[in-house]
């Protein structure tokens, strides 16, 4: 039976290596990679800080030992690890050299539209309404719209029970939310955030429609985690106003938003969206239009590796406990898979496999089987763990 340390080495070292490769490829900055994992997944530290603490040489050597065992390219130490190990220097030094700026609102944002009534959409409506914005939410039926207010109401009731909110606050937040079943209600919003089905044709139809409905200058944002935002922009007459805003689950709690620009997105829209994130208490990181962005690209291969480790006979609860203990993560991999949903996780892993063509990213067989069996996680009462009362 592997020790907690062996479980850490098997699951966490490849994730650290992957983060270094992401930085080496110039996809994201040191600060954004670390902020991504801290604020998107509640990790106590970002992966590059973890490497600084463990020492680049120690991480390189452990990876090299693992690579000798597996011959998996994903375990081959990244070149930069070797350079830091030999020449000295840290990721903190590399990050400090990049500097930072404070974004400003270049467009007035007073009224926000949200399209969708699922978990992410409901959480996003709550985020904006709680920050004082009037929000128009578009759903396919009155029942679905009622689900959004019920979700927010439940969250606020929990906060009231903990003495962190009041009935008056709850009434004020819910009072700022207006539901509609017709998209025309979005004609006068300053920004639309869509969180509907993760399907390109469905989103293309929506973006074409929003282009016709929304006033000139309105920003059109998508929460997609895997579809090409460039294509969503290109189907409108305003690709400069189209941008990605990838929130994390649960949206009212996780502080991260990945702000994804396409080659056509204007610098003003990018800056405005980042400033808006700060206004609603979120931390924005920048990344380009590529499947997985920063966080999913680092997170899901690690979750998939955990499933593969379980397939080799390791107990789920032992893996969950080892990761929480050794890496200090808020949830073990199977607890998190059950929160995200195995269907969502499988779809993301397939996208990553398609994008990067790494054999090690091939979805784990058990993940496929869980989805085929309808064991999707908390939302179906059973996933890797059982939630039936
Ligand atoms: N909605 C709203 N608020 C919630 C919530 C929910 N679903 N779940 C928990 N909360 C609130 C609680 O009310 C509490 O608020 P308070 O501090 O103001 O009282 C706070 O969150 C902490 O909750 P708890 O004390 O009940 O529980 P935990 O301490 O276990 O924290 C957690 C819960 C914040 C979810 C924590 O476990 C965590 O950070 N987990 C990691 C989640 C993660 O990795 N998400 C990213 C998934 S990937 C993704 O979303 C990308 C997409 O493309 C799939």
pLDDT digits (tens, 9 = 90+) for 344-353: 999 999 999 9
Residues 6+ apart with CB under 8 A from 197: 203
Q: Are 157 and 170 in contact (CB under 8 A)?
A: yes
Q: What is the pLDDT of residue 209?
A: 98
User: Residue 322 to residues 6, 253, 295, 318, 333: CA-CA distances in angstroms?
Assistant: 9, 24, 22, 6, 10
Q: What is the pLDDT of residue 17?
A: 98
pLDDT exceeds 90 at position 305? yes
pLDDT exceeds 90 at position 356? yes
Q: Round the average pLDDT of the chain to a whole number and report it.
A: 96
pLDDT grade, residue 94 (50/70/90)? very high
Residue 279: exposure state from Cβ atoms within 10 A (0-12, 13-18, ≥19) = middle
Best of 150, 253, 367 for a ligand 1 pocket test (most atoms within 8 Å of beta carbon): 253
pLDDT of 232-275, one tens digit each? Answer: 999 999 999 999 999 999 999 999 999 999 999 999 999 999 99
**Which of 188, 194, 160 lies closest to 174 in space, CA to CA?**
160
Residue 335: count of CB within 10 angstroms of its CB = 20
Q: What share of the chain is helix, strand, coil (3-state, %, to 5)?
A: 55, 10, 30
Q: Percentage of residues in the chain with pLDDT exceeding 90?
A: 96
The 3-state DSSP class for residue 135 equals strand
Q: What is the rounded distance in angstroms from the CA atom of residue 86 to the CA atom of residue 308?
A: 33
In this prediction, residues 68-84 reach a mean pLDDT of 96
Cα of 346 from ligand 1 centre, angstroms: 21
Lowest mean pLDDT among 49-63, 87-101, 182-196: 87-101
pLDDT exceeds 80 at position 98? no
In this prediction, residues 52-63 reach a mean pLDDT of 97
Residue ranges lining ligand 1, Cβ < 6 Å: 40-42, 155, 158, 162, 164, 225, 248-250, 252-254, 296, 299, 330-331, 336, 340, 344
- The verdict on whether 4 is a catalytic residue reads no
pLDDT exceeds 80 at position 100? no
Three-class HEC string of 203-253: HHHHHHHHHHHCCCCCEEEECCCCCCHHHHHHCCCCHHHEEEEEECCCCCC
């Amino acid at each position: 039976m592997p020790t907690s340390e062996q479980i850490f080495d098997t699951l966490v070292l490849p994730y650290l290596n992957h983060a270094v490769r992401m930085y080496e490829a110039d996809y994201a900055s040191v600060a954004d990679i670390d902020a991504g994992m801290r604020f998107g997944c509640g990790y106590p530290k970002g992966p590059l800080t973890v490497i600084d603490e463990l020492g680049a040489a120690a991480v390189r050597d452990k990876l090299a030992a693992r690579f000798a065992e597996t011959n998996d390219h994903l375990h081959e130490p990244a070149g930069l690890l070797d350079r830091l190990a030999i020449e000295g220097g840290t990721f903190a030094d590399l990050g400090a050299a990049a500097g930072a700026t404070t974004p400003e609102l270049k467009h007035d944002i007073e009224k926000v539209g949200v399209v969708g009534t699922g978990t992410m959409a409901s959480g996003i409506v709550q985020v904006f309404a709680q920050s004082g914005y009037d929000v128009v939410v578009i759903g396919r039926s009155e029942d679905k719209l009622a689900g959004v207010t019920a979700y927010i109401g439940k969250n606020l009731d929990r906060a009231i029970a903990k003495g962190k909110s009041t009935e008056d606050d709850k009434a004020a937040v819910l009072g700022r939310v207006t539901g509609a079943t017709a998209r025309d209600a979005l004609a006068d919003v300053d920004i639309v955030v869509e969180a509907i089905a993760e399907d390109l044709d469905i989103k293309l139809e929506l973006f074409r429609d929003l282009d016709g409905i929304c006033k000139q200058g309105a920003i059109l944002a998508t929460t997609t985690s895997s579809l090409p935002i460039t294509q969503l922009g290109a189907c409108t007459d305003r690709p400069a106003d189209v941008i990605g805003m990838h929130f994390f689950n649960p949206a009212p709690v996780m502080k991260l938003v990945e702000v994804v620009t396409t080659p056509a997105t204007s610098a003003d829209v990018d800056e405005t969206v980042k400033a808006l994130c700060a206004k609603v208490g979120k931390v924005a990181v920048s990344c380009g239009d590529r499947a997985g962005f920063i966080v999913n690209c680092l997170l899901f291969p690690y979750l998939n590796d955990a499933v593969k480790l379980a397939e080799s006979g390791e107990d789920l609860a032992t893996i969950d406990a080892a990761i929480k203990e050794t890496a200090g993560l808020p949830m073990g991999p199977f607890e998190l898979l059950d929160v995200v949903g195995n269907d969502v996780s499988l779809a993301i892993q397939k996208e990553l496999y398609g994008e990067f063509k790494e054999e090690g990213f091939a979805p784990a067989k058990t993940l496929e089987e869980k989805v085929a069996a309808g064991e999707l996680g908390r939302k179906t009462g059973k996933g890797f763990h059982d939630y039936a009362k």
